[in-house]
Amino acid sequence: DAGVTQSPTHLIKTRGQHVTLRCSPISGHKSVSWYQQVLGQGPQFIFQYYEKEERGRGNFPDRFSARQFPNYSSELNVNALLLGDSALYLCASSLEGARTDTQYFGPGTRLTVL
Amino acid sequence: AQKITQTQPGMFVQEKEAVTLDCTYDTSDPSYGLFWYKQPSSGEMIFLIYQGSYDQQNATEGRYSLNFQKARKSANLVISASQLGDSAMYFCAMREMNSGYSTLTFGKGTMLLVSP
């Protein structure tokens, strides 16, 4: 079975631009979470979606938004990019995002903001 | 305050030897989960092992075992018979519940280098 897939693999943008990152969960998984990992740190939680509804949001500005589609794939959008948004963006899928779930991660999208 | 602490920025081990990566955590939630993930240079976070707070026995998965000491709030990863392919960043993470959904809080990671 295919794991979590993300696109694109790498992305270079300039300050002020907008970016859209995409994620397809493992088949059968209904929950998608997004994490940001800056160099030298562990991933930080951005959003979790389940059944197309936002379940939770981490401590990120409103420039960050996301949505989940009927097929459970998800998009992360970042507006007005800043240099500090340069990071590896990881998508994780789980069955329901519940207490007993394990989150499985995709390969990530490496975003560079110049 | 940090919820997950990994005090070893880097560890070196020779091939075929065992190595222990340290992790301590802090939570007031009686029901939580502890995870270890491996992150090679490619970036993907690979799930290795899970320990629930109510599990009576330490988790094991092949060459990976988790030394869970609840009273000390530690969840150390033990890798037996290290292989060159084990060289990677290793992250300890804790699952917490927030208003009905779960998120992972990660430590800063430990870089493991396995030498021939």
A46-80 per-position pLDDT tens digit: 999 999 999 989 999 999 999 999 999 999 999 99
Coil, strand, or helix at residue A93? Answer: strand
Specify whether the backbone of B66 is left (phi greater than 0), alpha (psi in -120 to 50) or beta: beta
Do residue A41 and residue B108 have CB atoms under 8 angstroms apart?
A: yes
Give how far B32 is from chain A: nearest CA, Å. 8
Q: Is A106 on the interface with B (CB under 8 A)?
A: yes
Coil, strand, or helix at residue B111? Answer: strand
- % of residues, chain B, pLDDT over 70: 96
Do residue B35 and residue A102 have CB atoms under 8 angstroms apart?
A: yes
Coil, strand, or helix at residue A85? Answer: helix
A15-55 per-position pLDDT tens digit: 999 999 999 999 999 999 999 999 999 999 999 999 999 99
Residue in A42, A88, A110 nearest the CB of B107: A42
- Counted residue by residue, chain A has a size of 114
β-bridge partners, A91: A34
Nearest Cα to Cα of residue A93 among B14, B90, B45, B71: B45
What band does B97 get if pLDDT is binned at 50, 70 and 90? confident
Tokens standing for residue B79? 């890798």
Q: Is B48 on the interface with A (CB under 8 A)?
A: no
- B31, A99 in Cβ contact below 8 A? yes
Give how far A37 is from chain B: nearest CA, Å. 10
pLDDT confidence of residue A2: 83
Per mean pLDDT, which range of A99-103, B25-29, B30-34, B75-79 is the poorest? Answer: A99-103
Q: Is B115 on the interface with A (CB under 8 A)?
A: no
Residue in A35, A97, A102 nearest the CB of B101: A97
Q: For residue A8, is pLDDT > 90?
A: yes
Would you give the distance in Å from CA A33 to the centre of its chain? 6
Give every CB contact of residue B23 below 8 A, 6+ residues apart in sequence.
Answer: B4, B5, B6, B34, B36, B74, B75, B76, B77, B92, B107
**DSSP code at position A99:** T
Q: Is A67 on the interface with B (CB under 8 A)?
A: no
pLDDT confidence of residue A97: 67
Give how far A86 is from chain B: nearest CA, Å. 14
Q: Is B36 on the interface with A (CB under 8 A)?
A: no
Tokens standing for residue B113? 């280098």
- A73, A24 in Cβ contact below 8 A? yes
pLDDT confidence of residue B63: 97
Q: For residue A96, is pLDDT > 90?
A: no
Helix/strand/coil percentages in chain A, nearest 5: 5, 50, 45
